[in-house]
Amino acid sequence: MAHIFEKRHISYFKQLKKKTPFQKNERFMNLHPIVSIFEGFSIQKEEVCKKLKGMMRLYAKEFSFSKRYHKLRALKNRLPDTHTQWPKVALECSNEEAGQLGEKSIGFHLDMLSNSKYYIFHYLRLQHGKYYFQMDYFILCASFALILEVKNMGGELRFDGDFNQMTQIKRSTKKRRKNPVLQARLQAKKLKCWLEEQNFPEIPIHYLFVNSNEDTEIISDGENELVNRNSCNSEGLIDKIEQIEKYYTTDILDTKELKKLKKLLLEKHTPENPDILQEFGISPKELIPGVQCPNCKAFSMKYKSTAWYCSKCAHKSKTAFIQAINDYLLLVKLSITNLECRELLDIPSRKVVHRLLNSMELAYSGTNKGRIYYQSSSDIQNWPAP
C-alpha cells in the first residue's frame, strides 16, 4: 500500500463524487489497483473504500521532489559533459536524488499511522528571524509534535558520545559527517521559538534521525543516550513513534487548534528556490541550446509542421519542446517571453510559439507582445518522478 498517496489516485475519488454510495464503491473497486490486496478477505467494499480514503487524508502536505532537485537534473542534462563543473553537478544531483528517494521511502512506514490522530507534512521550510529552517518530515498530533531528519546513508554510521560526532564507514573509507541527531535537535529548538512567535500553546517537540537505508548499521556506545533515544533505521520508525505516544498521553491542542496550526504551517511554508547556475558559477551561455530528442537524447530536434523531428534518429514528437521551456524556467529565468522562446526553440514564427506556449497552460501576465509566461510551483510538484 506504499503508493496510495500518489496524486494519480486522487483523481479516482473525484470521479466518484456524483455517484450513489454503492456506485461509488463499485466504481472505486474497479479503478483502484490496491483493492485487489483485500481479495479473499471478508471485508466489505464500503469499509475498504472508507479506510483508503481516510489514509489519504493523513498527509497535510504530501511528498514531492524539491525544486532544487529538478534544477540539478536540468543542469546536469544541459551542461556539456566536458565542462569543468559537470562532475560536481552530477555528484550533487546523485546525492540529492538519493536523499529525496530516501525521504519518499519513509512514507511507506508512515502509512501505518492513524489518520484520525496525525497530520504529516513532508518538507516544511519556515522563516525564523533572518533565516529559514527546514524539516524533512513534521508529524503533528494533539499531544506532541515530531521532527524527522531523514538520511539515506550506506555502510556503518558510528556515533562518538564524547564529541557528538558521526563517522560514516563505507567500502573501507572513513568520513566525518554532520551529526543528524544534532541537526534534528536544532530544528526542534527553532520550531519551539517559531511556535512561541505564533502564540501557540507550548507543545512537546520530539525529534528523530531516521536512516532510510535499512542495510545500514547504526553504532553508538551504550551510554550515548542522545543517539540511542533519537535515532533509528526506517524499519524501526513506527516502534519509536509508539514509544513517544506512550510517553505523551495528555492532549495539549484541541481539534480547532490543530486545524489552525495545520493551516498556518502550510501558509508559512516557503519552498527553497536556489539559483543553481550561480551556485556552480555557470553562465546561461554555457548550456546546451535546443530541443532534446526523448529517444536518442541528442539536442537535434527541429520543428516542422506541428511536430518535432530528430535529425539523428528520425524520432517524431509533438511535446519534446516542453522540456526545453521547463529547463529554461528552472535554470535561466523564472519567466519567458515569446521572443525568448523563439530564440530558445529556434522557431521564427511568433504565432507558432504563441500556440506552443499556450498549449502548456502556463501562468501569464500581460497581453499580446507584452505577455510574459511563468512556471508555477504546483506544476513543478506534479512533474514525474525520476
Give the chain's domains with CATH numbers: 1-56 (no CATH), 58-268 (no CATH), 289-381 (1.10.10)
Give Dmax over CA atoms of the chain in angstroms: 72
Average per-residue pLDDT for the chain: 85
Does 198 score more than 60 pLDDT?
Answer: yes
What was the pLDDT predicted at 167? 94
Does 334 score more than 50 pLDDT?
Answer: yes
Rounded Cα gap, residues 160 and 207, in angstroms: 19
275-279, long-range: CB < 8 A, 24+ apart? 276/68, 276/71, 276/72, 276/75, 276/330, 276/331, 277/75, 277/331, 277/332
Question: What's the distance, CA 378 to chain centroid?
Answer: 12
SS (H, E, C) 85-128: CHHHHHHHHHHHHHHHHHHHHHHHHHCCCCCCCCEEEEEEEEEE
Arithmetic mean of pLDDT, 110-118: 85
CB 104 within 8 A of CB 94: no
What was the pLDDT predicted at 376? 67
Question: What pLDDT digit, counting tens, does each position of 234-280 carry?
Answer: 999 999 999 999 999 999 999 999 999 999 999 999 999 999 999 99
19 compared with 175, residue with greater pLDDT: 175
What was the pLDDT predicted at 58? 82
Question: What pLDDT digit, counting tens, does each position of 8-60 carry?
Answer: 344 333 443 333 333 334 333 344 434 434 344 444 545 544 454 444 458 89
Question: What pLDDT digit, counting tens, does each position of 152-168 carry?
Answer: 999 999 998 888 899 99
Confidence of residue 4 (pLDDT cuts 50, 70, 90): very low
Rounded Cα gap, residues 175 and 173, in angstroms: 7
Of the listed ranges 168-172, 283-287, 340-344, the least confidently predicted one is 168-172
Alpha-carbon torsion (244, 246, 216, 5), positive or negative: negative
